[in-house]
Amino acid sequence: MNYRKLGRTGVLVSPVCLGTAFRSQEDEDVCVRVIEHAIDRGCNFIDTALYGEGRSEKVVGRALKGRRDEIVLTTKIFGTLGEGPNRGRLNRLNLMSGVEASLQRLETDYIDLYLLHSFDPHTPLDETLRALDDLVRQGKVRYIGCSNFVAWKIMEALWISSEQGLAPFVCTQSQFNLLNRFEVEPELMPLCREFGLGIMAYSPLAIGLLTGRFRRGQEPPPHTPWSTGENRGLSPHQYKLDEALDEFNDRIVQTLVDIGTRHSRAPAQVAIAWILDHPEISAPILGADLPEHVDEIFDGLEWELPAEERQLLDDVSERPLPRKFA
């Protein structure tokens, strides 16, 4: 397996990070088996957060017993469990109590990568960064980063850390896939390239849309985030397929199917190969609700997307920009 650098750090991570939201799997024993199987396949990068009111972190903690040192473990902080006005802030109070709660649920004494799950407009950024730096100095956190930050806020955070001698962000999590390139490519990707931040791409398969299992005008498979019936999982969500899979997006899915047919690859493997063809990406975050889903992901990691197929996907997923008239 070709491991990749986590930004400009010396840390090497598997080319896929296992996401553990488990949106369509509520059996915790199955969730543990999924994580264990991913590690057996060479995955050393696991992402979690306060999904399912903390159940995700607890499941990860169970699965990592006896194997903790093999894993680069990522979790995130924004809202915390309980009542009170400070629970949804990134102030020092919430950060210090939140990390202790995560450590307890994860059954570990350190977190490799601790991310701010979203930007908090109510707390001064230097207060947040100083508290994170304290956690790094205490050894409870090894590296820090952010998720869902716009590029200029990441730049501000890097400037504050440089000016005040604080631990800097080493990576960011952002949604990036063939259906949604615009949040990353124009500003975030050049910034990360320039300053050496790794990008963890979440929803790389657009919540399953890029697997080819969901098509425009067809009834979605049951018990998925796109089905009209009940969806059960540690962190269940439901979305509207007819709104997400318009004609433009369905053409992208069809292109993935066509390329997969030409190269004997599943559409999901093609979509992941397209993401990994971007050197700024440290790893896409991929969820799996069954062990066999892990196999489909890892079976395709050694395959590289041919240049002409990369260009085809770039072209079909390029959205027209607003025209300048002056």
Indicate if 51 belongs to the active site: yes
**Best CA proximity match to 200, nearest among 176, 181, 167, 235:** 176
Q: Where are the alpha helices (DSSP H) in 79-137?
A: 92-106, 125-137
Q: How far apart are CA 181 and CA 282, in angstroms?
A: 16
Q: What H or E segment, with its residue span, contains residue 5?
A: strand 4-5
Q: What are phi and psi of 48, to 5 degrees?
A: -145, -175
Q: What H or E segment, with its residue span, contains residue 257?
A: helix 247-263
CA 252 to each of CA 103, 114, 249, 268: distance values in angstroms, whole numbers, following the listed order: 41, 34, 5, 12
The residue with tokens 């991570």 is 13
The catalytic residue among 3, 51, 110, 202 is 51
Q: How far apart are CA 277 and CA 269, in angstroms?
A: 12
B/e letters for 137-151, b = 16+ CB within 10 Å, e = fewer, are eeebbbbbbbbbbeb
Q: 128 and 78 in contact (C-beta within 8 Å)?
A: no
Active site residues: 51
